Chains A and B, each alone.
Chain A
Amino acid sequence: MAVKFSKKQKRILRRIITGFIIFIAGELIPFEAFPYGNIIELAVFMGAYIAAGGAVLVKAGKNILNGQVFDENFLMCIATIGAFIVGEYAEGVEVMLFFLVGELFESYAVDKSRRSISGLMDIRPDSARVIRDGVHTEVSPEEVKTGEIIAVYPGERIPLDGIVVSGSSSADTSAMTGESVPRDLNEGDNALSGCINLNGVIEIKVTKEYGQSTVARILELVENSASSKAKTENFITRFAAVYTPLVVGLAAALALIPSIITGEWSVWVYRALTFLVISCPCALVISVPLGFFGGIGAASSNGILIKGSNYLEALADAETVVMDKTGTLTKGSFEVSEICPIDISEEQLLEYAAYAENHSSHPISVSLKRAYGRKIDISRISDAAETAGNGVSAKVDGVLIHAGKSAYISKVTGKSCTAANAHGTVVYVSADNKYIGYILISDQLKEDSEEAVSQLRSCGVKQIVMLTGDSDGAAEYTAARLKLDKVYSELLPDEKVSHVTELKKSTSEKGKLIFVGDGINDAPVLTCADIGIAMGGLGSDAAIEAADVVIMDDKPSKIADAMKIARRTKRIVTQNIIFALGVKAAVLILGALGITGMQAAVFADVGVSVLAILNAVRALRYKRT
């Protein structure tokens, strides 16, 4: 590991080295042998002290002029000068040196962790290769306007959102979604900024300026996430504000009261000075936001964007998870899942249905045609007609085909017809007014929906509920397959809101309610839940706007990951708080009893900070299991 210091850190390092050399000299010289040995000794240690801590003294002085009484520099100065006054020259210098070493470590550790977190989010494109008048020019992404064509070479990051106009390739979206399987990019496909072009040269017609592009929006979101603070963070800030005055007050009491009683001034003043050394709450104040920031970083690298540490903290206490069906648990694309012919072959039934529905652009007919898979020969169709909301009719090879709802076909055939298990949309078909069977079209579960539910349960989620605008049959079927606790179907958007409000009442006081939707028509529900999670954030502006947490790659199993990251982060933050307070309290007590001296107090101050920072950085490392 190469250690690289910033200018400021180098300055501190120089002070430590000079101070230390003079200090060693002071320790080695036998001052008793000289006339006025005492004064020389004081001068040498003063020299060491000023070489090391001169800048701290100056800073403390400046801060006092600015009205910052309880500044750590000032307190450190009082403590060390106090040590000189009670005759502990060496200790005064030592404490100042320790303090500086701690500062150096602290600053280095914070820098390093800050860099490793932002390294995770290093998706900012450096330049764009724009084609103007047939010439490739490299410009900064901000300079490219919509409608211009950019070329992206293999290995390069796609700088702006756009549509592929020529070439084909695949894109590594892992920086954006955490998904390792590359996406294909062909002519006409949407190319998202931030992804890496893997194998072929592609030309992209820019559809969004840099500021509006996915990559810029995500970066902005992550950078602003630090501004919504978690409760713990606010608590620590408030605590810090009273902690310092409290410890300083205790120090004053310790210096005065026992001294007046016993008359042993130097003993008690010295003990009081150790209090001043540990009066800075820095370990707490640094490590708590750092931990949350690390957690947010870990989530981003897994394709989960969290808009603030308050949401990360709330995720750890999720008790009820409410999910939308279409687009969240299911793919939202309708596919033929069952063909039930009567007296004819499956292929024949599907062919009739696909031909009859050929003129309709309804999603149902699209999926019929997709399932049929062959080209429709239009010359075979005549007399096509559509009865809105009911069904279609057409002559296919001279046979009169009707296809549509149960009531529609019943009317045509004169007999009632119903499908056995209608967990989807059923298309009934008749040929020459005779019922020939039905085709079931249903939404498909996402591959990881079942895993998502079981993971949530193992995370301790008490209740998993599904809300959907879809039909009862389809909803019940999905809920039963996923073993959900409750399901409410055929809901209008405002009914979803009232159900969520109702469910929120049934969660315990500390427990939180998560709503997961696709973010497009769920905006009101997303805002009403404690935490709104939107799916499929990649490319969808609405989702990014409305939700508190965005899952980039559509996978419902990421909800459990988000919760696990949240819990881990919270555990680390709690460890830090307990550790820092515990060590400080212990050193305060031992210091008051005279068992430990100032050196231990310095450790309790800066050493604990460094350890807490190192612990906080662990929040960054989360591995999916």
Chain B
Amino acid sequence: MKKTYALRDLDCANCAAKMEAAIKKIDGVKDATVSFMTQKLTIDADDAVFDAVLKKAVKAISKVEPDCEVIL
């Protein structure tokens, strides 16, 4: 399943790259992109683990940039 979420207050391109790298490392993630330009997070993961993956991804994002919020 592939889903896209909007991000609020993502204001550093380097952070976006760091987030992307961190999310790609989460188990069960097939592919992920954090687009600084469109302020969007796209996760492609297996349906069965999607919710768990999403939670971890949100955590990974706030670790890199505490101000950045995922709009679910």
Residue numbers of A with Cβ under 8 A of B are: 8, 59, 62-63, 66-68, 72, 106-107, 110, 114, 117, 223-224, 226-227, 237, 240-241, 280-282, 285-286, 289-290, 293
Contacts and interface: CB of A to CB of B under 8 A. Distances in A.
A68 B12 CA distance: 14
A180 to B, nearest CB: 28
B9 interface: yes
A289 B42 contact: no
A223 B13 contact: no
Contacts of A280: 14
25 contacts: A8-B9, A8-B11, A8-B67, A59-B66, A59-B67, A66-B64, A67-B63, A68-B18, A68-B63, A72-B12, A72-B14, A114-B37, A114-B39, A226-B33, A226-B35, A226-B40, A227-B33, A227-B35, A227-B42, A241-B17, A281-B14, A286-B36, A289-B13, A289-B35, A290-B37
A285 B17 contact: yes
A59 B65 CA distance: 9
Contacts of A68: 18, 63-64
Most chain A beta carbons < 10 A, residue from B12, B14, B33, B66: B14
Contacts of B64: 63, 66, 68
A289 B36 CA distance: 8
Contact of B14 (A117, A282, A290): A282
Interface in B9-41: 9, 11-14, 17-18, 33, 35-40
Nearest to A59: B66
Interface of B: 9, 11-14, 17-18, 33, 35-40, 42, 63-64, 66-67
B71 to A, nearest CB: 15
Contact of B40 (A8, A63, A72, A223): A223
Nearest to B20: A237
Contacts of B63: 66-68
A226 B38 contact: yes
Nearest to B17: A237
B14 A240 contact: yes
A223 B17 CA distance: 18
- Top 10 closest A-B pairs, CB basis? A286-B13, A285-B13, A226-B35, A227-B33, A66-B63, A293-B37, A285-B14, A237-B17, A226-B37, A107-B11
A250 B44 CA distance: 39
Given A289-B36, A289-B37, A110 B11 contact: yes
Contacts of B39: 114
Contact of B12 (A114, A223, A226, A282): A282
A108 B40 CA distance: 19
B67 to A, nearest CB: 7
A369 to B, nearest CB: 50
Nearest to B18: A68
A8 B40 CA distance: 19
A117 B38 CA distance: 10
Contacts of A67: 63
A68 B38 CA distance: 24
A280 B67 CA distance: 19
B65 to A, nearest CB: 8
Contacts of B67: 8, 59
Contacts of B12: 72, 282, 286
Given A63-B64, A227-B35, 10 more contacts: A8-B11, A8-B67, A66-B64, A106-B11, A114-B39, A224-B42, A237-B17, A280-B14, A281-B14, A286-B14
B50 to A, nearest CB: 18
A8 B63 CA distance: 19
A290 B36 CA distance: 9
Contacts of A224: 42
Contacts of A117: 37
Nearest to A288: B13
A188 to B, nearest CB: 37
A146 to B, nearest CB: 25
Most chain B beta carbons < 10 A, residue from A227, A241, A281: A227
Nearest to B37: A293
Contacts of A285: 13-14, 17
A224 B67 CA distance: 24
Contacts of B37: 114, 117, 226, 289-290, 293
Contacts of A107: 11
A336 B33 CA distance: 53
Contacts of B11: 8, 106-107, 110
Given A110-B11, A226-B33, A226-B35, A240 B17 contact: yes
